[in-house]
């Protein structure tokens, strides 16, 4: 894996750790989907959390506009929470 993982590598990591869920899910607004992203399941593994956090940090540092609005000392990590209500597994 590279310092910044590719989209395919991130998707594979999510699949391997159970963060990319397959099934039949229903959003609170009634829409349906067959895939659901549950990042918390991936982030519970130290190595996975490290790969995603470092990759995200490097992507942000590579964009001058983003870098300019973030304080010099920042901790960057993918959010593991979500809005209350979430999805229902149908």
Write the pLDDT tens digit of every residue in 53-80: 888 888 888 888 887 877 665 666 666 5
Find where tokens 């910044």 sit: 4
Q: How many CA atoms lie within 13 A of 61 on its CB side?
A: 13
Q: What is the pTM of this model?
A: 0.69
Cα separation, 82 vs 72, whole angstroms: 27
Check residue 44 and report its DSSP letter. Answer: T
Q: How many residues does the chain have?
A: 90
For the stretch 10-38, pLDDT in tens is: 999 999 999 999 999 888 889 999 998 88
């Amino acid at each position: 894996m590279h310092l910044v993982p590719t989209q395919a590598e991130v998707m594979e990591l999510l699949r391997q750790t159970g963060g990319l869920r397959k099934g039949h899910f229903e959003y609170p607004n009634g829409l349906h989907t067959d895939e659901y992203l549950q990042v918390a399941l991936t982030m519970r593994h130290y190595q996975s959390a490290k790969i995603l956090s470092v990759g995200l940090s490097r992507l942000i540092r590579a964009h001058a506009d983003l870098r300019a609005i973030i304080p010099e000392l920042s901790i960057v990590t993918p959010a593991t929470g979500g809005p209350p209500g979430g999805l229902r597994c149908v």
